[in-house]
Amino acid sequence: MPGSQSASDESVPLRVVPDARSVTVLFDRPDRRNALTVEMSRALAAVLEQHAATPRPLVLRSATPGMFVAGTDVASLKARTVEDSLGRINSGLFQRLHDHPWPTVAVVDGAALGGGCELALACDFRLTTEDAQWGLPEVRLGIIPSAGALTRLAALVGTGPATDLVLTGRRIRGREAGPLGLASRVTTPDGLDGALDALLTDLAAAAPLAQRLAKEAMRVDGDRHRLVDAAAQALCLGTEDAQRRLQALVDRTG
Domains delineated in the chain: 5-204 (3.90.226.10), 208-253 (no CATH)
Please provide the distance, in angstroms rounded to a whole number, between the alpha carbons at the two ends of the chain. Answer: 47
Main-chain phi, psi angles of 129, to 5 degrees: -85, 160
User: Residue 69: helix, strand or coil by DSSP?
Assistant: strand
Q: Can you give the pLDDT at residue 190? A: 97
User: Residue 142: helix, strand or coil by DSSP?
Assistant: coil
Q: From start to end of 80-216, where are the E strands?
A: 104-108, 111-113, 125-129, 133-135, 171-173, 185-187
pTM above 0.75, yes or no: yes
Reply yes or no on whether the pLDDT at 238 is more than 90: no
Q: Can you give the pLDDT at residue 2? A: 46
Mean pLDDT of the chain: 89
Q: Can you give the pLDDT at residue 220? A: 82
Reply yes or no on whether the pLDDT at 29 is more than 80: yes
- Which ranges in 14-158 belong to alpha helices (H)? 38-50, 74-79, 82-86, 89-98, 115-121, 149-157
Q: Which residues contact 202 (CB under 8 A, 6 or more apart)?
A: none
Q: What is the mean pLDDT of residues 75-81?
A: 57
Select from 20, 3, 17 the least CA-distant residue to 201.
20
Reply yes or no on whether the pLDDT at 254 is more than 80: no
**Residues 74-92 as b or e (16 or more Cβ within 10 Å = b):** eebbeeeeeeeeeeebbbe
User: Residue 186: helix, strand or coil by DSSP?
Assistant: strand
Is 161 exposed, middle or buried (CB count within 10 Å of its CB: 0-12, 13-18, 19+)?
A: middle
Who wins on pLDDT, 82 or 6?
A: 6
Residue 60 pairs in a beta bridge with: 25, 106
Contact 130, 186 (CB under 8 A): yes
